[in-house]
Homo-oligomer: A and B are copies of this chain.
């Protein structure tokens, strides 16, 4: 229970763009500085706030920040044209008319674009945050101002967290019939406190690794009482999220924190999955000399063929300028290895959670910690050697860079389509089980994002479609395609 709020889940990496840019752009954005200067320490729970329409059915930090939030939402909309185009295409038929969606996600400009799309398609929404740190207060205010009951602020306590969820679900005269969850906490709460709600719920859409895992467990235990859609494992998410996100953000995260020059730097990347591949591509392209550690021979062989030496960390640790973990495992960088790093070596984590670097081992009396910038600590050995630790071992791109809005748009569009599919599916199409998005919908999500690139798809001729045994409108991928 504790874990949910402490560390961003894997899903978190993908959704947290704004909570990140929040901090990273403090110095640029007047909106943000306005927000920050709020020395108001009163808990939102203790404030009486009303929006300009007279509604008080929300709880945010400061409703007056709505205008600033609106501008952030508008900026996000520019890179989320797929959602906007979905709004336009489906607005006439209002495919979510009658849907009452309770949602629990990061509350950022990007999710605001999703929520407002759902509303435009006919849904009623109530919303809360899936992470106690990630809420953009001004965005929450902007949503509340337009009439969406939002219960979230940056820096909630654990008690606040559950209070907010409860306020979302437990309201008079309104009962949710759809759940959009990111991490499974909302689903958990409803199961525990208001199981009767499930009688009306047509489905759950879940985005995170953790939440999906919980759903499969429920399903195995025979306790899943409504259909659920596993958005995390959809093709578009898997194919685009990790690889491209990390390719875009690794350079940014390192540069903003350390002003490092990439040319000629010796870098070891631990793990050559999609995250590692993205990091390696970008670093090599900018002139770094990259090597890899791997446990899995298949990924190791790919690294070889892609031109990276595959080494054990201990063999190379003394020479490295930068160490990046991308494994999803724990204690990948140990105290012993930290001891052997050279002066000035930068250590950071792009993988999962904050377990990959054994940061705890550095909190020992013989080592001195010096915070030189936000998110940047120098750990100083008795002989004067310094190791540069970023974000205390938490996810670098979550903490110190932004995630492209465009990639978030892919996930958000997938969530919207999953909600539409579950809400409109004829009785019986989906049982009390966990489903993957139909391949054809994955392709539809992708096609909605092509106009951003002025990309023109080719259409099969009748003859070609027949030759290939395909429908001209897809799906083009077999079901087992990943």
Chain A interface residues (CB < 8 Å from chain B): 17, 21, 23-30, 71, 75, 78-79, 235-236, 239-240, 244, 247-248, 251-252, 255-257, 259-264, 266, 282, 284-289, 293-298, 300-313, 315, 319, 328-332, 343-344, 355, 371-376, 401-402, 404-407, 442-444, 446-447, 449-450, 452-461, 463-464, 467-468, 474, 476-477, 480-482
Contact = CB atoms under 8 A, between A and B. Distances in A.
Given A298-B235, A298-B236, A457-B310, A304 B450 contact: yes
Nearest to A342: B454
A29 B375 CA distance: 10
Given A28-B256, A251-B251, 8 more contacts: A75-B372, A247-B286, A248-B261, A248-B263, A264-B453, A284-B307, A304-B450, A482-B482
A358 to B, nearest CB: 11
A302 B261 contact: no
A304 B453 contact: yes
A330 B248 contact: no
Chain A facing B: main interface SS:
mixed
A244 B376 CA distance: 25
A323 to B, nearest CB: 14
Contacts of A262: 248
Nearest to A29: B373
Contacts of A309: 289, 453-455
Contacts of A287: 244, 247, 305-307
A264 B301 CA distance: 9
13 contacts: A28-B376, A78-B344, A248-B262, A252-B252, A261-B407, A264-B306, A287-B307, A293-B458, A300-B450, A300-B457, A304-B452, A329-B468, A331-B461
Number of copies: 4
Contacts of A306: 263-264, 287
Contacts of A331: 461, 463-464
The 8 closest A-B pairs by CB, nearest first: A285-B285, A28-B373, A261-B404, A310-B455, A297-B446, A297-B447, A264-B304, A263-B305
Contacts of A468: 328-329
A344 B291 CA distance: 24
Contacts of A75: 372
B477 A298 contact: yes
A374 B455 contact: no
A248 to B, nearest CB: 6
Contacts of A289: 307-309
Nearest to A315: B456
B259 A256 contact: no
B450 A296 contact: no
B463 A402 contact: no
B307 A374 contact: no
A475 to B, nearest CB: 9
A332 B477 CA distance: 19
Contact of A25 (B373, B402, B443, B476): B373
A35 to B, nearest CB: 13
B286 A248 contact: yes
From A248, A443, A480, residue with most partner B Cβ within 10 Å: A248
Contacts of A458: 293-295, 312-313
Contacts of A373: 25, 28-30
Nearest to A373: B28
From A71, A247, A295, residue with most partner B Cβ within 10 Å: A295
Given A305-B264, A315-B456, A446-B300, A27 B295 contact: no
Contacts of A259: 17, 21, 25, 402, 404-405
Nearest to A401: B255
A481 B480 CA distance: 9
Contacts of A443: 296-298
From A257, A311, A315, A458, residue with most partner B Cβ within 10 Å: A458
A410 to B, nearest CB: 8
A290 to B, nearest CB: 9
B71 A372 contact: yes
Nearest to A330: B467
A296 B471 CA distance: 11
Nearest to A252: B255
Nearest to A235: B298
A136 to B, nearest CB: 14
A452 B453 CA distance: 27
Contacts of A302: 239-240
